[in-house]
Amino acid sequence: MIFRSPRAMTWCTALLSRRNRLIAAFVLLFLAFIMGGSLVVQAAINRNLAANAGGAPLWASMVSAFVSAASLLLFQVVVRSKWPTAAQFYGTPWWVWTGGLLGAFNVLAPVLLVGRLGDQWLIRHFTGFL
């Protein structure tokens, strides 16, 4: 054992803990930056999907949402997370279900905006949040 005294062990543990928190903060900041950039890329990809689907942004958004749901389901199976029971959802307030509506809006609206306002406006809009 390198550290013989309990005081040295405590200091070392505190230092490692502080270092781990700093690394975690940088990883989360990096993920937030990537997420912001991916929103712009997703909008452009979905706009191209809409153009290839006969100019139907709603269908392109539904395909995107289906691929997202399938990916999340696969991830759920891979990580073997515990599945919630139906009873756990019974006491849920009505307003928490609006998250799905907001998600649908956040997929459809950029597809419509890229077509009307252009890519540059959307890039400036999303990078303004970073």
Which of 3 and 86 is assigned the larger pLDDT? 86
Domain count of the chain? 1
pLDDT tens, position by position, 13-35: 555 566 777 777 787 788 888 88
Residue range of the domain that includes 58: 31-83+91-128
Domain assignment present for 79 = yes
Domain assignment present for 4 = no
- Rounded to whole angstroms, the Cα distance separating 26 from 19 reads 11
Is pLDDT at 116 greater than 70 in this prediction? Answer: no
Q: Could you give the C-alpha distances from 82 to 78, 96, 111, 114, in angstroms and in order?
A: 11, 20, 34, 39
Question: Mean pLDDT throughout 44-67?
Answer: 83
Provide Rg for the chain, Cα atoms. Answer: 22
Q: What is the pTM of this model?
A: 0.61
The pLDDT value given to residue 15: 52
- Rounded to whole angstroms, the Cα distance separating 122 from 44 reads 9
C-alpha neighbours within 13 Å on the C-beta side of residue 77: 5
- Rounded to whole angstroms, the Cα distance separating 85 from 92 reads 13
Domain assignment present for 21 = no
